[in-house]
Structure 1
């Protein structure tokens, strides 16, 4: 829950200037990078894909916004008065977005780099407010 609260603070920055370094233990290894807001993730995703050639790049560039629209509609429906006893939107984020992420699997030749990475906070089994040096 503490990690969700920290991610929530980054999400509330309207100017997308907030970020922090984190290492996350997830199934399969450890991933580390800078936590950024969902909005910053979408903006970087779009800018990187818009420059690629081909008709598919434009469609892929719009994908995160389309997903956000669907999720927003689902949350609104769950929060509506007729949603039942379990209704109400969860105020804490369900996803974490990393920029300049590195994934370590335990083998030195298995380090992977991601310009952007998105993962479910529910899959994080441990974390640290640090990035390996």
Structure 2
């Protein structure tokens, strides 16, 4: 079975947001599961948002483990971006063959997209009402997208 390909433009946009860390862009995504709208954020910011939500919720004594999980995810995102930058710097003046250039591009390409303040569009309703939630999805599962966020009237 052939693996679905991610939209190159959306993948590039996600890469830029991941590398700049603080950039946010309003987007609306179409997936097999429905329409999702929110602000595109970096993997680092998504992990930070989840840690902040858990810390504020004070849900149980087990929340420390969940906060630790998202803190480690944030560290991993930061380390991944730093590693990509080191490889780019090291290979800046090196003439690599096409095979190696393709391999490097695959390592650099993000696999997931992260939203802040995500809402699901269900019929004419946008859920949840009020503030949305952090959301993460596979880029290869996004069927279509547009800049801008849907709002209820």
Determine if the TM-score, normalized by the shorter chain, exceeds 0.5: yes
State the partner residue of 1:129.
Answer: 147
Report the alpha carbon displacement of residue 66 of structure 1 after superposing the two structures with TM: 4.2
Task: Give the corresponding residue for 1:81.
Answer: none
Q: In the TM superposition, what are the counterparts of 1:40-119 in structure 2 within 5 Å?
A: 40-51=45-56, 52-66=58-72, 69=76, 89-105=106-122, 107-109=123-125, 111-113=126-128, 114-119=132-137
Of the structure 1 ranges 31-40 and 112-121, higher mean CA displacement relative to structure 2 is found in: 112-121
Confirm or deny that 1:27 pairs with 2:32: yes
Tell me the distance in 1 between the aligned counterparts of 2:71 and 2:112.
15
Q: Aligned partners of 1:121 and 1:4: how far apart in 2?
A: 7
Q: C-alpha distance in 1, partners of 2:143/2:135?
A: 17
**What runs of 5+ residues in structure 2 fail to find an aligned partner?**
1-7, 84-99
Shifted more, 116-125 versus 52-61: the winner is 52-61
Structure 1: 5+ residue stretches without partners: 77-84
Partner of 2:86: none
Query: What is the number of equivalent residue pairs in this alignment?
Result: 117
Matched, 1:6 2:22: no
* Bigger Rg, structure 1 or 2: 2
